[in-house]
Structure 1
Amino acid sequence: MADLGAAELLEGFSLLDPMTQSDPFAMYEAMQDAPGIYRMPETGFYIVSRYADLRAVLTDPVTFSNKVDRASLQGPENAERLRAYMESKGWPHISTLQRTDAPDHGRYRKLVDRVFTVGRVREMTPHIEEVAHGLIDTFAARGECEFISEYAMLLPGTILAEEMGLPSDQVTTFKKWADAMLAPASYVMSEEQLLRNADIELEAQHHLATLFEERRARPTGDWISALATAHADTEEPLSMAELQSVMSQLIGGGFESTMTAIGHAMMQLLNHPDQMARLREDPKRIKNFVEEVIRFESPTQGLRRRTTRDVELSGTVIPKDSVVIVRYGAANRDAAKFACPHMFDMERSNAGTHLAFGAGTHFCVGAVLARQEIAIGVTAILERLDDIELARPLTEPIHRANFLTLPLRELPIRFRARR
């Protein structure tokens, strides 16, 4: 009867509904309680929600391929229209890095792993701290700020913009480009909206193309230079289409998700002032706090896979060439893995076993940098501000409509600057 009740409950939800996207956890719980794997009636996508099932999918890239059209949410006709439009005016969305399987994936991963080393992130740490405190300087004396646009967005955005060769005061331009790159995978658009969005991405592509050519001739040590010159010990350099694709994924993964996690970190501090106090008392707790933030409200709620054969998962046969959505946000709230999964606890002993960064060969290449930016961002705020509280109630839905991520619309706070 419990299974039947969960199945009936699912009929009242839709992952395309902005209210469900903003607070999807009741739907996730119903998916996990219902038999088999949930299939979205609107798209035919299979949603994998249980922790054990996610690990099975993520660690079997042969059966669950990463080669899937990023615009599959738009339907086949609009996805093809977008591909042709991008190819005619810029560079098409070709498969690289996250969207490839072995052996191609290994080639791309080898290149980007050199960019995102622990040593390089360690070298960047003083500058990330400098950027964080510089941002706080702009609003500390005011006693209030809109935390997302004035801090959570600007911290990772500034770092990424600098690595793209953009001046730090052009982060808003960078965000516009990043949003456009993510949009086809994030929400359903009309053909007109899809092509208008493509024009913004094309603007970014042509800027990046100029930078790639400049850095090939005169490397400067930034990510653009590293990627443009990464062919030094390989058979051939990356083509411009490959460079565009890799950079698009680094921007999408490194900006939106980190911005969202920093916003969620502040939200949980506001919701749990006792834990905020403990974190102030012992800043060494920051590492586990960050892991619990990422587990609790996974910035990337899900990504796509494609089945290469008929496969059975939790009693459901998923046909070959089906789109499968690995729902990280659901697995990270699975009661079979995490005790009291809907309770935020920065001292949770297994918080670090979350799947928010994936698993297996496609584990997030930018995880080290993301963790460092979140930790630095939170630590700097607690060092500089006291009596932090929500300035006014948030308007529902509190998150922007998005099929794959969980971005807060806003987070207005007030505080007292420390002397």
Structure 2
Amino acid sequence: MTDKTTSSLDDISLLDPATQSEPYDAYARIQAEPGVYRMPETGFYVVTRYDDLRQVLTDPKTFSNNVDRASLQGEENSKVLHDYLDEHGWPHIQTLQRTDAPVHSRYRKLVDRVFTVGRVRDLSPHIEATANKLIDGFAERGECEFMAEYALLLPGVILAQQMGLDADEVGTFRKWGEAMLAPASRVMDADALCANADIELEAQHHLARLFEERRANPRDDLVSALVHAHGDTEDPLSMAELQSVMSQLIGGGFDTTTAALGHAMMQLVTEPELQDRLREDPSHIRRFVEEVIRFKTPTQALRRRTTRDVELSGTLIPAGSVVSVRYGAANRDEAKFGCPHQFDMERANVNQHLGFGAGAHFCVGAPLARAELAIGILTMLNRLDDIRLARPLDEPIHVPSFLTYSLRELPIAFTAKAAD
């Protein structure tokens, strides 16, 4: 085994907003040699090849999910954040995505009872009605800013309502979601971390009141389902556990779906013939959604920690190292996907992307995300013709983030169809 140097990659920084906006050249260079890249800024080992990611994701004994969500901030600032949250609210404890078996099994079993296929099926008419209501707000204008007026609001309204918020409170919900993701998304100093934590604490105290209210008076919503997900022989989730699980569901169910909706629409305006194909045969929507997730993976990376020395692609990764699992890179690996930088919803292995992860930690919200994407895009196509970019986008076009991949804006123009 060797500890390869990366001198030929010295000009790469995955913390650079320009690289984060267009990371695929950097990914391809890392994949070509050595496959695993050690970030000089953080010491994280970045894994980029598809087969290596599969190994990491399906071997939690070696690649533990028990990683501090603020590990990007370094040990000292991470401790500042944890102490601040502990003093004023509830600390970041390890649940669901951040745990290994057998602990993970308990959380997953409880959450699986909430995110059932049947529940998503029952929610689908409401998703479509919400999509139509949003389109009603801009259809006659002939243009809209798609990210702010649709991609953000569609999953935001659905999830906010499931959390007991009114539909017009999505702005508050977005602020909370961004604060929850921020410690894993960008480097901040201690003061900025505490200021950001104040926003998360606002969400925590709202959720605490909501959890207690739903414990006493359950409704048909996500919060009630979580509070009452335990069986007769199981202990209910504690307040700290509920806070941790909910923060993960907010990040995974809101920001990433917004990102995927934006890239789906961007693909439709870049290749207008796709609009006609989906209108003529809506059954293609499933393959279209899967290829969008592969091509512009909304969650670019998550993290694991090695429990022992391990070798990947000839690179030695010492025990205790943080591993950045770059889903966005693996989904463009030419060893797995032919012509990986070409959008092709007819590719034979379109369903083999890692956009929702793999193994025991496969995304619990995948059915809901797929439904929101498919219904959201088809409803737009059913209501609007000749969807096109209203003006060129300013560079960099993506929101800077080490974690997610979302467009800053997407101004589109269109012709509203006549009502039936």
> CA shift at 1:10, angstroms?
2.1
Query: In the alignment, which residue of structure 2 is the partner of 1:247?
Result: 246
Going from structure 1 to structure 2, the CA distance change for 1:234 and 1:31 (only over 3 Å counts) comes to farther
Q: Which string of whole-angstrom CA distances, capped at 9 and with x for unpartnered residues, describes residues 228-285 of structure 1? A: 1123324311110000000000001000000000000000011111222212211110
Q: Which amino acid aligns with 1:269?
A: L
List alignment gaps of at least 5 residues for structure 1.
none
Aligned to 1:228: 227
Tell me what 1:91 maps to: 90
Name the residue aligned to 1:32: 31
Q: Take 1:349 and 1:271, find their aligned partners in 2: how far apart are those partners?
A: 22
For residues 316-355 of structure 1, give each alpha carbon's deviation from its aligned partner in whole angstroms, at most 9, with x where no partner exists: 1111110001100000000000000000112222111000
**TM, length-normalised to structure 2:** 0.97
Q: 1:264 corresponds to which residue?
A: 263
2:236 maps to which residue?
237
Which residue in the other structure is 1:361 paired with?
360
Gaps of 5+ in 2: none
* Superposition pairs of residues 6-17 of structure 1, within 5 angstroms: 9-17=8-16
Q: Distance in 2 between matches of 1:15 and 1:261?
A: 21
Alpha-carbon separation, structure 1, partners of 2:34 and 2:227: 49
Contact 1:301 1:405 (8 Å CA) reproduced: yes
**AA paired with 2:357?**
G
* 1:371-386 alignment, distance < 5 Å: 371-386=370-385
What does 1:299-310 correspond to in 2, within 5 Å? 299-310=298-309
* Counterparts of 1:235 and 1:278, CA distance in 2: 49
- Post-superposition Cα deviations, 1:183-230, rounded to whole Å, max 9, x if no partner, equal 000000111111000000000000000000001111002111111112
Give 1:35 shift.
2.2
Output the amino acid matched with 2:381: L
Q: Which residue identity does 1:375 align to in structure 2?
A: A
Task: Give the residue type in structure 2 aligned to 1:336.
Answer: A
Shift of 1:91: 0.1
Once residues 139 and 293 of structure 2 are traced to their aligned partners in structure 1, the CA distance between those partners, rounded to angstroms, is 26
Give the TM-score normalised by structure 1.
0.98
State how far apart, in whole Å, the 1-side matches of 2:27 and 2:231 are. 46
Q: Letter of the 1:15 partner, please give it.
A: L
Aligned to 2:405: 406
Residue 175 of structure 2 aligns to which amino acid in structure 1?
K
Corresponding residue of 1:290: 289
- Residue deviations 1:9-61 (CA, integer Å, cap 9, x gap): 52222100000000000000001001251111111000010000000000001
Aligned to 2:47: 48
**Aligned amino acid, residue 81 of structure 1:** V
SS at match of 1:233: coil
Q: Is the 8 A contact 1:144 1:415 kept in 2?
A: yes
CA contact 2:327–2:354 (8 Å) conserved in 1? yes
Structure 1 contact 275–346 (Cα < 8 Å) conserved = no
Distance in 2 of aligned mates of 1:41 and 1:234:
48
C-alpha separation between the residues in 1 aligned to 2:6 and 2:375? 43
What does residue 200 of structure 2 align with? 201
Q: Matched residues in 1 for 2:8 and 2:166: separation? A: 50
Q: Distance in 1 between matches of 2:24 and 2:6?
A: 15
Q: Distance in 2 between matches of 1:301 and 1:140?
A: 32
Superposition map of 1:61-100 within 5 A: 61-100=60-99
Q: Which amino acid aligns with 1:343?
A: Q
Q: How many residues align?
A: 415
1:355-409: CA deviation from partner (whole Å, max 9, x where unpaired): 0100000000000000000000100000000111101100000001000111110
Residue equivalent to 1:58:
57
| Runs of 4 or more consecutive aligned structure 1 residues displaced over 3 Å after TM superposition | 6-9
